[in-house]
């Protein structure tokens, strides 16, 4: 049991996000167009023989218990196998900012599931890993394979989409996070008057029309942001002023990203924003498939 697997847990971005009806299970039906980016955490996993699940991170404030989705994923994996004797050691080298709407924790959990599947020789397929992952978090099923996808239901009903044409993405996260629960309460208390043109975006993706995708980027949560979060619109405006084809908040925030068709413009935008925001990245879309 000395084998070690290291994986990249790639962040995700929401190109379109629509909130539909509340569900009886307390969640909401969603309709989202999501994509992986090259930016990601590094997750290293090895097995133990004493049943213990231990986690550590380059950030000491990252939880080491089940509040850490990687730990929660390992427990769910061994429970699904009915294995009470095998444990795991998990090391997370975090790069994806926490509380950004980029599924950093979910991507870590998915990487743990993939690694354990290989280390134990369980040989579970992607669908089975997604089923286990759904009990860990709504974004985990998507993060099992990543890539461009239409996600429906809680996020577990996935339809693979073609990769975006080559482009560059600049991401900036302000120094605050946003309560997911608060945003859903705000959404539930109002009539959503503007929704993403999801059908148009899917058509543009299938045609390889980057401009068409960028023009349709929209997140309904932006209309429910509390006043203290208005800095998000300033970031979006700055990205657009530097030549982004489109810019939008991802997930429930607070990170904002812009899509560029020119690398030079993207680099200049990242340079300008990095002076204001510590969490600022230049990256590219990543294709689907476990690494």
Domain definitions of the chain by residue range = 4-160, 168-283
41, 139, 209, 223: the catalytic one is 139
Q: Is 94 a catalytic residue?
A: no
Active site residue 173: no
Q: Per-residue pLDDT for the chain (291 aa), expressed as one digit of tens each?
A: 569 999 999 999 999 999 998 898 888 999 999 999 999 999 999 999 999 999 999 998 899 999 999 999 999 999 999 999 999 999 999 999 999 999 999 999 999 999 999 999 999 999 999 999 999 999 999 999 999 999 999 999 999 999 999 999 999 999 999 999 999 999 999 888 899 999 999 999 999 999 999 999 999 999 999 888 989 999 999 999 999 999 999 999 999 999 999 999 999 999 999 999 999 999 999 998 655
Fold of 168-283: Alpha-Beta Plaits (3.30.70)
**Distance between terminal CA atoms of the chain?**
21
Decide whether 4-160 matches 168-283 in CATH topology.
no
Measured on CA atoms in the order 68, 73, 79, 84, is the torsion positive or negative?
Answer: negative
Range 228-232, long-range pairs (CB < 8 A, 24+ positions): 228/176, 229/176, 229/178, 229/253, 229/254, 231/174, 231/176, 232/174, 232/256
Q: Which fold is adopted by the domain 4-160?
A: Ribosomal Protein S5; domain 2 (3.30.230)
């Amino acid at each position: 049991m000395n084998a070690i697997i290291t994986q990249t847990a790639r962040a995700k971005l929401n190109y379109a996000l629509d909130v539909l009806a509340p569900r009886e299970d307390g969640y909401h039906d969603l309709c989202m167009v999501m994509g992986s980016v090259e930016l990601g955490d590094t997750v290293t996993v090895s097995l133990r023989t004493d049943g213990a699940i231990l986690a550590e991170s380059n950030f000491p404030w990252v939880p080491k218990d089940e509040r850490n989705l990687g730990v929660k994923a390992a427990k769910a994996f061994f429970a699904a196998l009915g294995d009470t004797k095998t444990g795991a050691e998990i090391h997370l080298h975090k790069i994806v900012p926490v509380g950004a709407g980029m599924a950093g924790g979910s991507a870590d959990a998915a990487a743990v599931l993939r690694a354990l599947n290989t280390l134990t020789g369980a040989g579970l397929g992607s669908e089975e890993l997604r089923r286990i992952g759904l009990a860990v978090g709504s974004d985990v099923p998507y993060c099992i394979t990543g890539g461009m996808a239409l996600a429906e239901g809680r996020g577990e009903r996935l339809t693979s989409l073609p990769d975006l044409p080559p482009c560059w993405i600049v991401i900036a996260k302000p120094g605050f996070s946003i309560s997911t629960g608060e945003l859903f309460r705000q959404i539930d208390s109002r009539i959503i008057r503007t929704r993403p043109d999801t059908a148009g975006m899917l058509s543009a993706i299938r045609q390889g029309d980057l401009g068409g995708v960028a023009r349709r980027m929209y997140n309904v949560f932006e209309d429910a942001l509390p006043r203290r979060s208005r800095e998000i619109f300033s970031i979006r405006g700055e990205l657009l002023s530097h030549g982004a084809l489109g810019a939008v908040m991802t997930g429930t925030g607070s990170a904002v990203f812009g899509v560029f068709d020119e690398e030079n413009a993207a680099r200049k935008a990242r340079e300008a924003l990095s002076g204001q925001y510590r969490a600022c990245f230049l990256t590219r879309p990543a294709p689907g498939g476990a690494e």
